[in-house]
Amino acid sequence: MSSDTSRSAPRPPIIEIRNLSKSYRRGAQIVPVLSDITLDILSGDFVALMGPSGSGKSTLLNLIAGIDKPDGGSLRVAGADIAAMSEADLADWRAEHVGFIFQFYNLMPVLTAFENVELPLMLTRLTARERKDHVETALEMVGLADRMDHYPSELSGGQQQRVAIARAVITDPTILVADEPTGDLDRVSAEDILNLMDRLNSELGKTIVMVTHDPNAARYARSLRHLEKGVLTEG
């Protein structure tokens, strides 16, 4: 793996970021988090965003995922200018285009693995039968076909993250965003998750943007971006 490289043939960018900036208000103070970010991420790429704490990598990921809004610049993801979208349109857009993998899995504790994976499908027009087929396929893909009826509290961290990945891919989203997906896992489980993400990218062609501190995790990415104090730097 090397910085800013891709093994794929030239493909159109699925994420186009131009002069993006973002700041937060802390009391009376305005704290800049991202400054003048310009970046293209190609369809089918697996990008790792690295940087120290506070460098703005999670903020950039949130902006790409459409769960936060930039202060300036343009942000096109999957052909849509998401910076200009209303909250309601963004919600619909996320449901269709983004799969989320969180550090702490963010599963609904009162739903079983099956129900958690099925959750995003409730926003589609699929029938119960079709949803069942989709969920079973996704859980088989992540190796948890025999844990469908288990609640998150009955699963290990690695298993919970695999359920979360199944939930992330169940709607066949355009991009997968992963925020420290192995940050809460032991080394073996982390390897499992990263191998799974690698398969999603290489076999299914999923575009993945992953934020990580962990250089071992970053090794799985096809390309690497570094952020330092809110600015993209050469890795």
Partner 1 sequence: MHFFKLITRNTLRHKLRTALTVLGLVIAFLSFGLLQTIVDAWYHGAEAAAPNRLITRNAVSLTIPLPKHYREKVRAVQGVKTVAAANWFAGVYKDPKNFFPQFAVEAVPYFSMYPEYRLAEDEFRDFLRDRKGAVVGRKLAQTFGFKVGDVVPLKGTIFPGNWDFVVRAIYDAGEEKTDTSLLFFHWDYLNETMKQRFPLRANQTGIFIVEVNDVDRAAAISEDIDKQFKNSTAETLTETEQAFQIGFVKQTEAIVIAIRLVSFVVIFIILAVMANTMAMTARERLGEYATLKALGFGPGYVAALIFGESLAIAAVGCVIGIALTFPIGEWFAGEMGTLFPVFEVSTETVALQAACALAVGLIAAALPARRAAGVRIVEGLRSIG
Contact flag: residue 110 with partner 1 (CB under 8 A): yes
146 CB-near residues (< 8 Å, 6+ apart): none
Q: How many residues comprise the chain?
A: 235
H/E stretch holding 162 reads helix 157-169
Distance of alpha carbon 137 from alpha carbon 120, whole angstroms: 15
Quick one: 131 or 225, whose CB is closer to partner 1?
A: 131
Out of 20, 55, 103, 176, name the contact with partner 1 by CB under 8 A.
103
Out of 50, 55, 94, 141, name the contact with partner 1 by CB under 8 A.
94
H/E stretch holding 225 reads strand 223-228
Contact flag: residue 84 with partner 1 (CB under 8 A): no
Q: Could you tell me where the beta strands, DSSP code E, fall in 7-148?
A: 13-26, 29-42, 46-50, 72-77, 80-81, 98-101
Which has the closest alpha carbon to 163: 188, 187, 177, 142?
A: 142
Q: Which two tokens stand for residue 126?
A: 């699929």
To partner 1, the closest distance from the beta carbon of 95 in angstroms equals: 3
Quick one: 104 or 195, whose CB is closer to partner 1?
A: 104
To partner 1, the closest distance from the beta carbon of 184 in angstroms equals: 8
Contact flag: residue 92 with partner 1 (CB under 8 A): yes
Which has the closest alpha carbon to 157: 86, 118, 107?
A: 107
Binding string to partner 1 for residues 127 to 146, with x set by CB under 8 A, is what? -x------------------
Quick one: 118 or 192, whose CB is closer to partner 1?
A: 118
To partner 1, the closest distance from the beta carbon of 191 in angstroms equals: 22
To partner 1, the closest distance from the beta carbon of 110 in angstroms equals: 4
Q: 3-state DSSP call for residue 202? A: helix
140 CB-near residues (< 8 Å, 6+ apart): none
Contact flag: residue 104 with partner 1 (CB under 8 A): yes
Give the 3-state secondary structure percentages of the chain, helix then strand then coil, rounded to 5.
Answer: 35, 25, 35
Binding string to partner 1 for residues 43 to 82, with x set by CB under 8 A, is what? -------------------x--x-xx--------------
To partner 1, the closest distance from the beta carbon of 171 in angstroms equals: 9
Binding interface with partner 1 (CB under 8 A): 62, 65, 67-68, 87-88, 91-92, 94-96, 100, 102-104, 106, 108-111, 115, 118-120, 122-123, 128, 167, 184
